[in-house]
Amino acid sequence: MKILVVDDTEAVLLLISRFVEALGHMAVIARDGAEAVQVWRQERPDLVLMDMMMPVLSGPEAAMAIKNEAGESWVPVVFVTGVGEENRLAEAIERGGDDYINKPVNFRVLEAKLKAFDRTLELNRKVREQSSKLADYYDRAEEEKRVVRHLMEQMVNAERLYDPLLEYWLTPAESLSGDLIAAARTPGQSLYILLADGIGHGLTAALNVLPLTQPFYSMTEKGYSISDILTEMNNKVRQVLPVGRFVAVVLIAIDEVNGWVDVWNGGMPGVQLVGIDGQSQHVWKSAHLPLGIVPTEAMDVIPERHYFSAPGTVIAYSDGLIEARNPLGEPFGIQRLMDVVATYPPAERMALVKRRLTEHLDNVPHHDDISLVMAHCGLPQRALPIHSAPSAADPMRFQELAESRWRYSLNLGAQQLQHINTVPFMMNFINKVIGPGESQSDVFLILTELFVNALDHGVLGLDSSLKREPEGIEQYLTERARRLAMLQQGHVEIDLTGMWLDGQDYLRIIVKDSGHGFDWPGWLTNDLSTAGGLSGRGIALIRALCDMLQYRGTGNEVHAYYRVRSKKP
Amino acid sequence: MTPTVEIEGDVGRVILSGQFDFSAHREFRQVCETLIANPSVKEVLVDFQNVNYLDSSALGMLLLLKEKIGVANKSLALVNCRDTVKQVLEIACFGKIFTIR
């Protein structure tokens, strides 16, 4: 240690400093309080051994000055006191002195005290080192959080979450949320909703859910099915996250046109469908492992479909909501949630759940992220744009007068039908050709319906009457998957042509399949308002969207003419 | 929470108690590692008899354990799950990848 020895008596000063040096320390000296402060400034000793009564500045006064300047770092001051100084000594120690030793100095005691201070100083140094490290870690963690929060905000993109049919609420337990809500529309205007809950909360949980947003948005906008999106998300999560990390996920697809809701629930609380009266109509329980646990090949990515017959609301939430505990440790529970839902009309439910939860928590912070989604479905639809057929819609005129501008055709065999997501694949091209606008979604719907009909009924020979009963749909989908997996032969031809007639852009879509066709004249008389049950809406929908729809031969070839309603970019 | 270990023949039992969450992660890992390193233990049982709550990070710890047990060629089962624990395991569909008794 470097020790500052202060005394106005030369003999004592010499004696003590020699002794200190003999113990292997280094001594610096001063002869009064003022000099002591000065020497301390220059030499920065580790410890001060100081007389009490000195000229110019007394020991206690000098000690206070030194302590003031030393600030955060600790400089022990030990007073060397003579008899009769007890009162001032007590005061000095109260005001910051660390210890004292009596005059005449007992060197055995002084040696022991110096050793003790050496130990304490070492400890003190370590603590200071660690606390500065800790402060560094804290600053770095805060900066990292700031960056991730920004990233999350960018990727989650609250603007996209705006949808007239969607209400949501997300409140993180810490500054970062491990829950994620995302929503987007497919080109066919189905509403896709993603609710994810990464394990834990804070930074690591937020990082867990980040890989999900990109496949969700980009694939939804291209019109992929939620099974395709799940496959991609599981691959991403497996690629990015270490073992022991996973993400519970609910994916919801609401198709207003066909009147169904698809839900895939992996590790989240049950998703509810409730009616306007708030009564539960269907529950999708967790039926799958969360994402990131098993390889994608081992996963069942087929969602469970439910047809709705009246307006309703799909309600999904993370376990943070029902597990939020009040000061007595009682969880919020499903019952409280369902009571609010059953008591109030749809538009007021979200606000009331929030209020009930605030009351329940009674100022106790919730320990997990809370998220809640309410998506309304089955409300009166915007009327489909039904075109008044223009004079151009005459097959003969098209064949004779229309000018063909481009053509894109595709012939898919059994193997391609099994593995290619044909419609999203073609939409990439269509979007480039017809430009942005509502036509994209019309064309997506037409292509989807025509392709699904050609594949399901034509190539696979499935009977759509199976779909009429709600219980039949599962059977239908299972049978479809089985036949598709076994498919050895058969093909679907798709031919897209851009046409120009009377100053209008048209798109002709021809779909041919290797099937036997069907009794098409009967189907064509259906229209959207009379198409009953759960099948037969497809053709009625295409007829509503197209200027002209023709079946040829036995019905395994169909020609659709669609008038493009957007300007080319 | 301090897990305790009982070894009977070639079965090692990790008995957990109270809340099984992230705060238990160091002790849980240490206890499991000793069992995995013990050559006479062929089967590891995680006993939930005295656990009243488990959260998602506990599920993560179980996944990690499963991975390590697999590497060591031993078997693993989750036993004596009470209702609350069972519910969490059910929602996560852990029955698909764990033996639960």
A265–chain B nearest CA distance, Å: 9
Q: Which two tokens stand for residue A148?
A: 């991730």
DSSP A277-341: T--EEEEE---BPPBTSS-GGG---PPEEEE-SS-EEEEEE-HHHHT-B-TTS-B-HHHHHHHHH
The answer to whether B63 faces chain A, any CB pair under 8 Å, is: yes
Domain count, chain A: 3
Report the pLDDT value the prediction gives residue A391, as an integer from 0 to 100.
Answer: 42
Q: List residues of chain A with CB under 8 Å from any CB of chain B.
A: 197, 199-200, 243-246, 248, 266-269, 286-290, 293-294, 319, 368
Report the pLDDT value the prediction gives residue A568, as an integer from 0 to 100.
Answer: 47
Number of A/B CB contacts below 8 angstroms equals 48
Q: Which two tokens stand for residue A482?
A: 């089985």
Q: Which of A244, A290, A368 sits opposite B92 (nearest CB)?
A: A290
Say yes or no to pLDDT of A533 above 50: no
A243–B56 C-beta distance less than 8 A = no
Say yes or no to pLDDT of A271 above 90: yes
A566, amino acid identity: S
pLDDT digits (tens, 9 = 90+) for A418-472: 888 888 888 888 888 887 777 888 888 899 989 998 999 899 988 877 766 667 7
Q: How far apart are CA B43 and CA B79, in angstroms?
A: 12
Cβ B90 vs Cβ A286: under 8 Å? yes
Locate the chain B residue with the closest alpha carbon to A247: B56
**A372 and A426 housed in the same domain:** no
**A201 and A294 housed in the same domain:** yes
pLDDT digits (tens, 9 = 90+) for A544-555: 888 888 888 888
pLDDT digits (tens, 9 = 90+) for A472-506: 777 888 888 899 999 999 999 999 999 888 888 88
Domain end: A346, A377, A408, which one?
Answer: A377
Cβ A1 vs Cβ A25: under 8 Å? yes
A136 within some domain: no
Say yes or no to pLDDT of A104 above 90: no
CA A482, A480, A476 angle in degrees (round to 5)?
120
For the CA atoms of B81, B84, B86, B90, the dihedral, rounded to the nearest 10 degrees, stands at -160
Q: What percent of chain B has pLDDT over 90?
A: 69
Q: What is the value of pTM for the model shown?
A: 0.72
Q: Which of A200, A266, A287 sits opposite B56 (nearest CB)?
A: A200
User: What was the ipTM of the complex prediction?
Assistant: 0.85
Q: Which of B59, B91, B94 sits opposite A199 (nearest CB)?
A: B59
Q: What percent of chain B has pLDDT over 70?
A: 100
Chain B residues near residue A368 by CB distance under 8 angstroms: 55
A316–chain B nearest CA distance, Å: 14
CA A220, A222, A223 angle in degrees (round to 5)?
65
Locate the chain A residue with the closest alpha carbon to B91: A267
Which residues on neighbouring strands pair with residue A511, listed in sequence order?
A: A494, A558
Domain end: A126, A146, A177, which one?
Answer: A126
A141 within some domain: no
**A91 and A36 housed in the same domain:** yes
Q: How far apart are CA A259 and CA A273, in angstroms?
A: 13
Q: Domain of A370: which CATH number?
A: 3.60.40.10
Q: What percent of chain A has pLDDT over 70?
A: 92
Q: Among all chains, which residue has been given the structure tokens 């300007």? A: A567
Q: What is the average per-residue pLDDT within A250-260?
A: 90
B11–chain A nearest CA distance, Å: 24
Report the pLDDT value the prediction gives residue A41, as an integer from 0 to 100.
Answer: 93
pLDDT digits (tens, 9 = 90+) for B25-65: 888 999 999 999 999 999 999 999 999 888 888 998 999 99
**A103 and A45 housed in the same domain:** yes
A294–B97 C-beta distance less than 8 A = yes
Chain B residues near residue A209 by CB distance under 8 angstroms: none
B66–chain A nearest CA distance, Å: 9
A286–B92 C-beta distance less than 8 A = yes
Q: Which of B22, B56, B93 sits opposite A287 (nearest CB)?
A: B93
Cβ A492 vs Cβ A412: under 8 Å? yes
Report the pLDDT value the prediction gives residue A390, as an integer from 0 to 100.
Answer: 46
**A250 and A225 housed in the same domain:** yes
The answer to whether B59 faces chain A, any CB pair under 8 Å, is: yes
Name the more confident of A476 and A127. A127
Q: Which of B59, B67, B93 sits opposite A286 (nearest CB)?
A: B93
Mutate to test the interface with A, among B22, B54, B56, B83 (most CBs of A within 10 A): B56
**A228 and A333 housed in the same domain:** yes
The answer to whether B60 faces chain A, any CB pair under 8 Å, is: yes
Say yes or no to pLDDT of A530 above 70: no
**A271 and A420 housed in the same domain:** no
Element (H, E) at A413: none
Q: Which of B60, B90, B92 sits opposite A244 (nearest CB)?
A: B60
Q: Domain of A46: which CATH number?
A: 3.40.50.2300
CA-wise closest residue to A47 among A6, A2, A101, A107: A2
A140 within some domain: no
Count of other CB atoms within 10 angstroms of residue A231: 18
If DSSP codes are grouped into helix, strand and coil, which group holds residue A140?
helix
Q: Which of B57, B63, B93 sits opposite A200 (nearest CB)?
A: B57
Least confident range from A151-155, A348-352, B88-92, B94-98: namely: A151-155
Mutate to test the interface with B, among A293, A300, A322, A323 (most CBs of B within 10 A): A293
Report the pLDDT value the prediction gives residue A364, as an integer from 0 to 100.
Answer: 87
Name the more confident of A261 and A103. A261
Q: What is the average per-residue pLDDT within A135-139?
A: 91
B63–A293 C-beta distance less than 8 A = yes
A246–B59 C-beta distance less than 8 A = yes
A131 within some domain: no
Domain end: A126, A147, A169, which one?
Answer: A126
The answer to whether B92 faces chain A, any CB pair under 8 Å, is: yes
Count of other CB atoms within 10 angstroms of residue A320: 25
pLDDT digits (tens, 9 = 90+) for A61-86: 999 999 998 888 889 999 998 877 77
B97–A289 C-beta distance less than 8 A = yes
A142 within some domain: no
Q: Which of B55, B57, B91 sits opposite A286 (nearest CB)?
A: B91
**A191 and A280 housed in the same domain:** yes
Report the pLDDT value the prediction gives residue B68, as an integer from 0 to 100.
Answer: 93
- Residues of the domain holding A372: 157-377
Who contacts B53 (Cβ-Cβ below 8 Å, separation ≥6)? B18, B19, B20, B21, B84, B85
Q: Which of B22, B91, B97 sits opposite A293 (nearest CB)?
A: B97
Count of other CB atoms within 10 angstroms of residue A399: 8
B9, amino acid identity: G
A190 within some domain: yes
**A370 and A407 housed in the same domain:** no
Mutate to test the interface with B, among A177, A199, A304 (most CBs of B within 10 A): A199
pLDDT digits (tens, 9 = 90+) for A37-64: 999 999 999 999 999 888 888 888 999 9
Report the pLDDT value the prediction gives residue A22, as an integer from 0 to 100.
Answer: 94
The answer to whether B67 faces chain A, any CB pair under 8 Å, is: yes
Q: How far apart are CA B14 and CA A566, in angstroms?
A: 67
Q: What is the average per-residue pLDDT within A258-283?
A: 93
**A116 and A205 housed in the same domain:** no
CA-wise closest residue to B14 among B24, B2, B26, B4: B4
Mutate to test the interface with A, among B62, B93, B100 (most CBs of A within 10 A): B93
Q: How confident is the model at residue A152 (pLDDT cuts 50, 70, 90)?
A: confident
Locate the chain A residue with the closest alpha carbon to B56: A199
**A407 and A368 housed in the same domain:** no
Cβ A294 vs Cβ B97: under 8 Å? yes
Q: What percent of chain A has pLDDT over 90?
A: 47
Say yes or no to pLDDT of A24 above 90: yes
Q: What is the average per-residue pLDDT within A178-197?
A: 90
What are the two backbone dihedrals, phi and then psi, of residue A175, each rounded to the nearest 5 degrees? -70, -15
A383 within some domain: no
A210 within some domain: yes
A294–B93 C-beta distance less than 8 A = no
Q: Residue A59 burial by CB count (10 A; 0-12/13-18/19+): exposed, middle or buried?
A: buried
Q: Which of B57, B63, B92 sits opposite A243 (nearest CB)?
A: B63
B22–A244 C-beta distance less than 8 A = no
**A163 and A111 housed in the same domain:** no
